[in-house]
Each structure stands twice: as C-alpha cells, then as structure tokens.
A and B are shown apart, each in its own frame.
Chain A
Amino acid sequence: MGLDFSYVRQAFPFILEGAARTVEISVMAFALALLIAYAVGIARAKHIPRWLAFPLRAYVELFRGTPLLVQLFLIYYGLPQIGIVMGAWTAGVLGLALNSGAYMSEIVRASLLAVDRGQAEAAEALGYGRLQALRHIVLPQATKIALPPLTNSLASLLKESSLVSIIAITELTRVGNIIYSRTMAPFEIYLTVAFLYLLMTAVVSVVSRRLERTSRAWAAS
C-alpha cells in the first residue's frame, strides 16, 4: 500500500494558512516571552528585596515545573471560572509566553552572572550608575552569551505551539487533525505537518548561526 498525497496537495493552501498561524502565534509569544525573560532574569540576577524575589522565583518554578498543556487548560478553561475570560488566541499566546518566559528568564539570569564582575566594576569606577552600567556594559555582553540558547528557545516554542491546537486555535497541527479526520489517512498529512515544522526550525537555526557569526568579532579570544 502506497502513500497518496493527492488530498494533501489539494488542501495545501489550508495547510499553509495553518503554518502561517503557527509562525504568527510563536513570534508573538516569543516577543512577549523575551520581555518577561529580560525583566525577570535581570531582577533575579540583582539583589532585590525578598517580597519581590519570592514571587518571581515562584513564577519560574511553577511554570517550569508543570506541563504546558495543563497551563493552557488553566488559562483557557480555568481562569473564566474566577471571572477572567479571554479568547483562545490570547490564552494561547499568554500560555506559551509565560511558559517559555520562565525558561528564558533563567537563560538571561545565568548569562548576566556569567559576565565578568570586573566589567561592572570598571564601569562603576568610570562613573556609570548601576542602570547605565547594566544597559551599556553588562547587558550587551550577557545578550551575546544568551543568544544561542535563546534562539534554541524559539525553536522549542515553535514546536510546543502545536499544543494550542487543543484550545481550538487553527494552527498547523489542528489543520493536520482536521484533514486527518476527513481523509482517515494520517501518515500523509502528519508527515507534511512534521516537514513544515522542520522547515521552520531550520530557518531559526540558520538565522541563529548568522547572528552568532556577526557578534563573534569581539569575542575572538
């Protein structure tokens, strides 16, 4: 028995539309996750008062310690029960961003701590204020360190975004499910879906490698 891609070919515009939504939701969630990661990561790398440190740590531990799927259920189905209602799209973006943000904040925090302490001191000795030193001296160096793992997070996020298919967002995986339910031929459609995910993560890899190369000039030794 051979594979028959004729229906996949016919439904290809629909599939591409799903892929576009996957990219869309991933990019939005990643942008939000970056904001969260830098805010939380910077705060946690600094000496901050306990009333602020505790909730930030709790956030990171909670979102890293529970499954994304459960988090999505809690946001989309659970929150309305206490009066917080949001659309599937918003819930999907928020869930993905909060989840990735927790992991990525640890990347940012570790990268900040990896920058030689002497850099901040040299800046301080030159008269930079704390925030000025962070912004002009420490953060650019930390970002260089964080770049490869952060792009890695983007690739993960692209793949994990398939989970939002279960809260009725018609992205790539859900399109696959819909086509499967019509054709009862899972192999063809899921192969196609898998290939499209691979294509997306490959693009991320290429961009990441290029970014690393351009910032390597000052890290030659």
Chain B
Amino acid sequence: MGGFLEVTDVRKSFGNLLVLDGVSMSLDPGEIVMLIGSSGCGKSTLLRCINGLEKVDSGDVRIKSETLQGNAREARRARKSVGTVFQHLNVFPHLTVLENVANPLRVVRKMNKPEAGERALRELARVQLSDKLHSYPAQLSGGQKQRVAIARALAMDPEIMLFDEPTSALDPEIAAEVLDTIRDLADLGLAMILATHQVNFISSFAHRIVFMADGRLTADGTPHEILVENTDPRLTRFLARLRENT
C-alpha cells in the first residue's frame, strides 16, 4: 500500500554521534508497530523525526505524501495527523485536566470554548478521567497524567499515534492502567508506533515488531517472526535480557 507514512533512508546525527544511520520504514493506516531496541539505540530520535521535533540530516519523512522536511508551514500541516505521547508525562502543570485537553483544541484548532470543552469531556471519558476534570496535574498519579496526555493527543484527531516509552517512567502497577488504555486505542483503527520495553503486553495486539540497533532497523516482522522464529543474534540477546528483567 504505502504512502501513509513513509520514512526513507533517514540519517540524523548530533554532533559526532550518528543516531539514525539510514532508517527506512513504512506504516499502513491502522497498523500497529512496536519499536524495540536497547536504550540509546535511536528509537526516540526516530519518533521525534516522525513528528517533526527533529529535522533529519538526509532522507525524508512523508505523512500522506506531505513531507516534514519542507518549510515550517508544510511541516506543520504534515504533522497534524501525528499525535505523540512522551515518556516524561509532559502534561501542562498550569492547566486543569480539562484545560489540558481543551486548550490545544482552542488554540490550534480554533474551536470555541463550549465545543472544545465538549470534545475534551469525551476524550477524558475514554481514558476514564471524568472524575478529575478540575484537578491539576500535580494532584494526579503518574498513570493519570499519562492518560491525560493520551486524551490530549487523541482530541486532535490524529491518524498516527506515537508512543515514546509511555510507561517507563511509571510504577509497574500504574503502567498496567496506561497499557490497558493504549490497547483500547487499537480498536479505534489508529495507526500506532510504540517504542516500549513491554514486549509481552504490546505484542499481543501489535501487527508488526521492528527491532532497532545502532541507528538501523535490523529486523522487521510479525510478533511471531520476531519473538519466536528470529535468528538474529543481537535480537535474541536483547530479548533474553528483556525477559530476565520482567
């Protein structure tokens, strides 16, 4: 199919450090891809190139045929269909839960107040935070904050959701509630790329798993192919280490 999300031979370095060494991948509408690899292998940077927070040195990222590498306006239009949930719970501390979701709708989508509020209520109900509308993030648990971030991203009607280790800053029990929320999203038909170490849980609903090492995608296949049939020694070692830790 192609053309939905196309990452083509992307290279990116920070100073002398080569982080992405020719990464290519594509994503179909509704496809859920799990991105694995040890910390520092370039997963975050790849996601940041896909949502336009980083400019690539060479190569191209196209979302529905629109490039992220053009001028600011083109890039802004292209990234409109991408929602991101970060590792570090980047909710806005000076806004209530409701405002966290409604403010982007008003500022970016130019909705009026009642319209934005109504939409925000719906998204917050989806992540089961209807009882926290007027709380400030400081009064929430890490998992609740992350669910606010998810609702906030969903309210912008993305077609692709990027998750950058959404649970690695959370306690295991709290991580579970966030993972459940993410699994529910799979039913919405959104395409997703999940950078995560929660292999067992995510692979139960991921369509594909991509393994990254040293800035390259070295394995790409169905969960069964990657987790069971693979013969790549680095991937095997990585998975063994991961299982030891969980």
Contacts and interface: CB of A to CB of B under 8 A. Distances in A.
| Chains A and B form a bound pair | yes
Contacts, number: 68
A126 B139 contact: no
A interface secondary structure, majority: helix
A141 B138 contact: no
Interface string A107-120: 00000000010110
A128 B103 CA distance: 10
Interface in B46-101: 51-53, 76, 79-80, 82-84, 86, 88, 90-95
A123 B86 CA distance: 12
A67 to B, nearest CB: 38
B137 A218 contact: yes
Given A126-B104, A127-B79, A136-B107, A218 B93 contact: yes
Contact of A217 (B83, B136, B156): B136
B93 A219 contact: yes
B94 A141 contact: yes
CB-based closest 4 A-B pairs: A122-B90, A218-B136, A220-B138, A127-B108
Interface of B: 51-53, 76, 79-80, 82-84, 86, 88, 90-95, 103-104, 107-109, 136-139, 149, 152-153, 156
Given A121-B86, A122-B90, A125-B51, 17 more contacts: A118-B86, A118-B90, A121-B53, A125-B52, A125-B83, A126-B104, A127-B79, A127-B108, A127-B109, A128-B108, A132-B107, A132-B108, A136-B103, A136-B107, A140-B94, A141-B94, A219-B138
